[in-house]
Amino acid sequence: MIEIRKSDSRGVADFGWLKSKHTFSFGSWYDPRFMGVSVLRVINEDRIAVGSGFDTHGHQNMEIISYVKTGALAHKDSMGNVETIPAGDVQRMSAGTGVLHSEFNAADGETHFFQIWILPKANDIAPSYEQRSISQMHTANHLTLLVSPDGRNNSLSINQDVSLYRVTLGEALTEIPSDGSRCQFFQVVEGSCTMNDRELWAGDMMYLEDESRLTVSGIEGELLYFDLPRYSAA
C-alpha cells in the first residue's frame, strides 16, 4: 500500500513572526484524516522571523526532534540546557515527566527548521536532552541515521522504536532496506525525487505499508525517512 499526499494538503499557519506548514493536525488546523501515522504525531515545517520565537512553554510524555535547515535556534529549558542549535544540527528532547523550554531565532535572518513529535514507548521517564551535528553522524548509501532507539552509529537515542534518516539524493538509484514488516513515512525537504516510480516534490509526503522494495532517485534532493512500528497512533 502506497499513499501520497501533496505539499498543498498540509495545514498552514501564518502569525507574521512564524510561518508554519503542518503535515498532521496541529494547533487550530484540524483534519481527522491526518492525525499522524504509527507513533509519528507532528511534522511542522517552521520559519521564524528575526527577533522572534516561542516563549517558555511545557511538554510532557513526548519525544521532540528539531532539525535546523537554515539560521539557528536559541534553546533554553528547565533541565538547565542553554544551547544554540545551528543549521545542520539535530536536537532530541524527551519531555517525559515534564519539561519547560523556549526557542528563539538566534540568526541574522529567518530560521527554517523542522519540528517533529513522536509518541514515547514508555511514559513518565526522566526528561533528557541531546544535540549533534549531522556531520558527526554515520552516512551510508546516501542515508544518514539521525535518531534511533539505541543511539547506534552516533545517532541521537529516542524513547521509541523509530529510526529517522536523512536521505540525500544524486543521479544514482538508492535502495532503502525494507522487509515489509514495518511502515515507512517520507517527507521531501527540498528538491524532487522519484520513489517507487512515483514523482515527489518539496513538501510532498509518501506513506508505505507492506512494501518490500523501496527505491528512490533524484537530483539535488533531500528527504526525511521515518522507519516506524506497525500500529496506529490515532
Report the pLDDT value the prediction gives residue 190, as an integer from 0 to 100: 93
Tell me how far apart the alpha carbons of residues 144 and 141 are, in angstroms, rounded to a whole number. 8
Split into its structural domains, the chain has a count of 1
CATH of the domain at 200: 2.60.120.10
Whether 233 is in a domain gets the answer no
SS3 content of the chain, % helix, strand, coil (to 5): 5, 55, 40
Structural domain contains residue 161: yes
Q: Categorize the per-residue pLDDT at 139 as very low, low, confident or very high, splitting at 50, 70 and 90.
A: confident
Residue 234 falls inside a structural domain: no
**C-alpha span between 117 and 119 (Å, rounded):** 7
Report the chain's mean pLDDT, rounded to a whole number.
93
pLDDT above 70 for 232: no
pLDDT digits (tens, 9 = 90+) for 72-116: 999 999 999 999 999 999 999 999 999 999 999 999 999 999 999
pLDDT category of residue 64 using cuts at 50, 70 and 90: very high
pLDDT above 70 covers a percentage of the chain that reads 98
**Interval 13-58: pLDDT, tens:** 999 999 999 999 999 999 998 999 999 999 999 999 999 999 999 9
Closest CA to 144 of 88, 72, 64: 88
Round to whole Å and give the CA distance between 23 and 115: 11
With bands split at pLDDT 50, 70 and 90, how would you rate the model's confidence at 174?
confident
* Amino acid symbol at 92: R
- On whether residue 141 sits in a domain, the answer given is yes
Q: Evaluate whether residue 33 is within a structural domain.
A: yes
Domain around 204: 2-228
Question: Contact at 8 Å (CB) between 146 and 210?
Answer: no
**Cell representation of residue 45:** 515545517
Pair type for strands 143-148 and 156-157: parallel
- Residue 233: predicted pLDDT: 43
160, pLDDT greater than 80? yes
Model pTM?
A: 0.94
Q: 79-92 b/e with 16+ CB inside 10 Å = b? A: eebeeebbbebbbb
